[in-house]
Amino acid sequence: MRRRTSANAGKRGVKSSPLAVIDLFAGIGGLALGFLEASSSGQADFDVRLLVDKDIEARETFKRNYPAIPYLVADIAQCSGAALRERVGLGARDELHILVGGPPCQAFSRVGKRVLADPRNALVLDFLRLVKDLRPLVVLMENVPLIMTAFDGVVIEEINEALSELGYSATAEIATASDYGVPQFRKRALVVAYRNDLGVVPAFPAATHRKIDYAARLPQRKKTTCHNGLSEFISVEDAISDLPPLSAGGGEECAFYTTPPRTEYQRWAREGSIGIFNHRVRGHSEEYLKKISVIKEGCRNASLGDDERFSDNYFSQAYGRLHRRGIAHTITANFSNPGSGRFLHYRDLRAITVREAARFQSFRDKFVFHGFHLTQMRHVGNAVPVLLAREFALKIAADVREAGVQNVRRNGRPKSGWKETPELRSRIMRAVHGKNTGAELKLRQALSKLGVRGYRLHPTKVPGCPDVYFPSQKLAVFIDGCFWHGCPKCYRAPKSRKKYWALKVKRNKDRDAENRARCAQLGIRVVRVWEHDINTRCAMVAQQIAKKLAQNGKKR
């Protein structure tokens, strides 16, 4: 029988089965470790069934730390949902509760096509394909912050649209790791999606630690124990001051602690560890040490005088020294090179070690990194901060527990006894997207191809908040969903709660007529387009709108 790996597995008093988790594009398992941390806290019960990645060295590191948890070395593009189900022991009617992963999204440019259609983004499509195949209750996807802003958010809109079409309600935001007790000012984009039949509106976990606007100003601030109910941020000194001082080229792969822990974070990091691992620093020449010795604590090359500055060609954080009362900047995969970021130790004349970087990434000391030094740096720099993942795991566990897993539909069919309460219906309806739908995106792309510019999206001051509005021509374009607005061609009345839906659609139609009348009073022309027209003849609809604009006798 397969060994259970949940932290609470086998404990008395745990009545419900643990929530099954699969981690794709896992690396060394930062996301998976966050779920295991949530389990060890006693507030959740997760069973990490499988990690998948093609990085053999990452698997070696993870398996040496967690030998009982399966790790599959494979190309995600070659994996099928059925094969993953079989590998983790889930039958066709068994629920996979949570699917997590960080698929690389490399292309942030598009010329006449959808961003996800770019071959460099194929792994994102593979992740979505496995969401479709596995039908998990919850999806958690992690990526770089740029994915949120590229092309005015079109990339993330396409991902949310794809999840919506698969039957999920999703939300996407940028999370800052320091808000969740990580001693690092690291930002990551995360997408949280719940299957619609779970009846949960997705939301990010509330911050646990004081929000920090400008990391550079932290050294001037006085730390307090609490701020508006939030814990104080974890500083560089809080995180690593107990680790032995080192000179350039010094340190060992394994050593004993020489001082007791000085902070709660250090006590947490040491828990379960027999010593200090990976605390070894890169060697620096005497000339190089002299070069960096002029950089004071909390300062950087850019702040040096003209006669001391190395060059003006480095980016802003290059050759920066940490400040003990500040927090670490984003840990990259090349932190042993001070020229690649703010990676100089606040006290010692050297770059930070792998263990210090791991502390900033909120890995416990018992997690040992293996392989060459460059491999260790790559694994640390590319990982998701463990405590950031833990807070999302706890939020997911609370939401699933509140919804009641026993009430969830299995394989698309309602379980006997499942009832839709008014409260549940209200929560589901609030999760329905009202802006930036797939039809809106198609129309905007078609208008762009025609060179039509100068429009605004969802202006609240225009009656009805049109989907597209041209202020100079006073032309408002509304895209009416075929179901919600009662399309005479496509609308099919639901078989249940007929009176409810008939009344709701009638109210929408009445509101449409009212908004048209209000627009007419303001001299605003209105164009209403059915959703099915966008899906079947979007180019023609865009041309009709262009003609309307031309009729006004003004340039587009």
C-alpha to C-alpha distances, 301 to 43, 277, 313, 336, nearest whole angstrom: 45, 31, 10, 16
The pair of structure tokens assigned to 462 is: 């225009």
Domain topology for 19-211+386-409: Rossmann fold (3.40.50)
What pLDDT shows up at residue 150?
A: 72
CATH architecture of 215-381: Alpha-Beta Complex (3.90)
Catalytic residue chosen out of the listed positions 79, 105, 482, 519? 105
pLDDT at res. 2 = 38
Domain residue limits, the chain: 19-211+386-409, 215-381, 437-551
Annotate 484-502 with DSSP letters as a single string: TTT-TTT----SSSHHHHH
According to CATH, the topology of domain 437-551 is: Endonuclease; Chain A (3.40.960)
**Cβ distance 39 to 10 under 8 Å?**
no
What is the pLDDT, as a whole number, of residue 231?
Answer: 84
Please tell me the distance from the alpha carbon of residue 382 to that of residue 57, in angstroms, as a whole number.
13
pLDDT of residue 3: 38
pLDDT for the residue 553: 52
Burial class (CB in 10 A: 0-12, 13-18, 19+), 280: buried
At 116 the pLDDT is: 56
What does the pLDDT read at residue 311?
60
pLDDT (tens, 9 = 90+) of the chain, 556 residues, equals: 333 444 444 343 334 688 999 999 999 999 999 999 999 988 999 999 999 999 999 999 999 999 999 999 999 989 999 999 999 988 878 889 999 999 886 555 444 445 555 555 678 889 999 999 999 999 999 998 888 877 677 788 888 889 999 999 999 999 999 999 999 999 999 999 999 988 889 999 999 988 765 544 554 445 555 556 788 889 999 999 999 999 988 988 888 999 999 999 999 999 999 999 999 998 888 888 888 888 888 887 666 656 666 665 555 567 888 999 989 999 999 998 888 888 899 999 999 999 999 999 999 999 999 999 999 999 999 999 999 999 999 999 999 988 876 544 443 433 333 344 555 455 445 445 456 677 788 888 888 888 888 888 888 889 988 989 999 889 999 998 888 888 888 887 776 667 777 877 888 888 889 899 999 999 999 999 998 888 888 999 999 999 888 886 544 3
Pairing of strands 19-24, 138-143: unpaired
Alpha carbons 186 and 403: distance in angstroms, whole number: 32
CB atoms within 10 A of CB 540: 11
Q: Is 482 in the active site?
A: no
| Sheet with 468-470, edge to edge strand ranges | 468-470, 475-480, 525-530
